[in-house]
């Protein structure tokens, strides 16, 4: 077998901080509002769960750390530093590892960014979501456009690598309006942007309003045109799409997210965190308890709050690697697939359906990769349904 990539050495670590100042009406992430948070207790508990996974994984080299949430920028720099230090003690953490922290404009200031950088964070991702004040209010965001721009400037002052998120296909948004906003964003951006279409996630207030007809989104045709426009304008500005919703200059892709999309191993700690970890040659799918108080109780009782630990068979692994890999503009590396799964990609696809999709130019395949074409990109979910049926 062609050992194209050493999947069982490199490891990514995701740390979930589940707290926010307020819950956004479109968000279905595992985030919670609490009046008081004992950070020392949370630091100790997260470190205990890191210790548990270090025992399972054995010696590994850390390629990236990602502090997500929730709103991780609500943490003190001391807590962040303590977690990075524990990760470094449990595994091999090089100076070149990517360490990203998500931040909201309402919880950042110059002193805090400076302290996060001193703690070891070397990349920041800002949740801006819109450059229009009225739309920020409609999205339930607590910051203004002025605060967003100030946060972007601070991120670029203290971190060479930085990114921010925007949501498009919003209520009442037009194609020309999104183009103006996108060009403004590109003027502000450094080397990375995450640009997501607004989706109605079940269980959110927005979903309930949408079902009642009280929240109107652009129709499918306009949304598709916005998607095409986004890719075209970003590519012309030197930030081509490298994934469905992510755009970056060459070599500025999020290494942590690339670990997910290329089906690398990662540990997830904190309430609701997920992981994929190879132990004794078998891949484990893990998830942690979601409610913060229950998670804390389990960690106190047994050193971790793992709610699910399932060993994945090769078929499930193959399906997951296909679903993740086809999100990437470069597609699935065939040699990596065979190395990871233990057999060629062709053995896990319906060949007649694959040939039909290739003939229709929705997919392209050469000796090294299978990828979705520009024509097929808006139909990714359909294509996956056809390939994995």
DSSP letters for 247-295? EESTT-S-HHHHHHHTT--EEEESTT-EEEEEETTEEEEEEE-SSHHHH
What's the pLDDT band for 28 if we cut at 50, 70, 90?
A: low
Q: Which among 44, 28, 22, 14 is positioned nearest to 265, based on CA atoms? A: 14
Q: Rounded to the nearest 10 degrees, what angle do helices 220-236 and 175-188 cross at?
A: 30
Range with the poorest average pLDDT among 104-113, 165-174, 254-263? 104-113
Range with the poorest average pLDDT among 242-246, 269-273, 385-389? 385-389
**DSSP 8-class letter at 245:** T
pTM of the full structure: 0.94
- Contact (CB, 8 A) for 196 and 165: yes
Place of tokens 């074409």: 373
What's the pLDDT band for 2 if we cut at 50, 70, 90?
A: very low
- Contact (CB, 8 A) for 147 and 105: yes
**DSSP 8-class letter at 307:** E
Q: Which among 77, 32, 24 is positioned nearest to 296, based on CA atoms? A: 32
Tell me the average pLDDT across 123-146: 94
Tokens of 156: 């670029």
Cα→Cα distances 200→215, 217, 333, Å: 10, 10, 32
Instruction: Report whether pLDDT(78) > 70.
Output: yes
Q: Say which residue, 108 or 380, is predicted with more confidence.
A: 380
**What is the structure's pLDDT at 288?**
98
Start-end of H helices in 100-164: 110-119, 133-138, 145-158
- Backbone φ and ψ of 236, nearest 5°: -65, -25
The fold adopted by the segment(s) 10-261 is: TIM Barrel (3.20.20)
* pLDDT tens-digit map of 180-222: 999 999 999 999 999 999 988 888 878 788 688 887 888 889 9
Instruction: Report whether pLDDT(23) > 80.
Output: no
Q: Which among 267, 257, 260 is positioned nearest to 304, based on CA atoms? A: 267
**What is the structure's pLDDT at 202?**
83
Tell me the average pLDDT across 361-371: 97
What's the pLDDT band for 34 if we cut at 50, 70, 90?
A: confident
* pLDDT tens-digit map of 274-327: 999 999 999 999 999 999 999 999 999 999 999 999 999 999 999 999 999 999
Beta bridge partners of 68: 16
Tell me the average pLDDT across 228-256: 97
Residue ranges of the domains in the chain? 10-261, 331-388
Average pLDDT, the chain: 93
Range with the poorest average pLDDT among 58-72, 139-153, 208-222? 208-222
- Using CA atoms, how far apart are residues 108 and 129, in angstroms rounded to an integer? 16
Instruction: Report whether pLDDT(98) > 50.
Output: yes
Instruction: Report whether pLDDT(115) > 60.
Output: yes
Instruction: Report whether pLDDT(167) > 50.
Output: yes
């Amino acid at each position: 077998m062609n050992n194209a990539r050493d999947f069982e050495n490199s490891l990514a670590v995701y740390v979930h901080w589940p707290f926010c100042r307020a819950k956004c009406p479109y968000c279905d992430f595992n985030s919670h509002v609490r009046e008081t948070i004992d950070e020392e207790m949370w630091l100790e508990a997260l470190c205990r769960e890191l210790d548990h996974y270090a025992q399972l994984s054995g010696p590994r080299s850390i390629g990236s750390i990602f502090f997500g949430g929730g709103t991780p920028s609500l943490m003190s720099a001391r807590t962040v530093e303590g977690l990075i230090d524990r990760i470094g003690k449990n595994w091999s953490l090089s100076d070149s590892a990517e360490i990203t922290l998500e931040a909201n404009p309402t919880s950042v200031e110059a002193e805090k960014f400076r302290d996060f950088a001193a703690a070891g964070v070397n990349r920041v991702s800002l949740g801006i979501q819109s450059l229009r004040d009225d739309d920020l209010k409609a999205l339930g965001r607590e910051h203004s456009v002025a605060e967003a721009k100030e946060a972007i400037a601070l991120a670029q002052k203290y971190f060479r690598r930085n990114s921010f998120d925007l949501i498009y296909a919003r209520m009442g948004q037009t194609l020309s309006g999104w183009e103006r906003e996108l060009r403004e964003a590109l003027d502000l951006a450094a080397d990375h942007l995450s640009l997501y279409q607004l989706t109605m996630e079940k269980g959110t207030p927005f979903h309930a309003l949408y079902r009642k007809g009280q929240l109107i989104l652009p129709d499918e045709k306009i949304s598709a045109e916005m998607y095409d426009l986004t890719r075209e304008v970003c590519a012309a500005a030197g930030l081509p799409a490298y994934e469905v919703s992510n755009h970056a200059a060459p070599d500025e892709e999020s290494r942590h997210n690339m670990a997910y999309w290329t089906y690398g191993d990662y540990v997830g700690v904190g309430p609701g965190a997920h992981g994929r970890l190879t132990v004794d040659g078998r891949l484990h799918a893990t998830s942690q308890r979601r409610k913060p108080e229950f998670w804390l109780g389990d960690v106190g009782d047994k050193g971790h709050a793992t709610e699910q630990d399932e060993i994945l068979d090769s078929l499930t692994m193959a399906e997951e690697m296909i679903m993740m890999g086809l999100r990437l503009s470069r597609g699935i590396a065939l040699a990596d697939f065979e190395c990871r799964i233990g057999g060629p990609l062709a053995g896990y696809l319906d060949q007649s359906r694959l040939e039909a999709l290739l003939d229709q130019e929705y997919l392209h395949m050469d000796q090294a990769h299978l990828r979705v074409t520009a024509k097929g990109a808006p139909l990714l979910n359909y294509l996956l349904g056809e390939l994995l049926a």
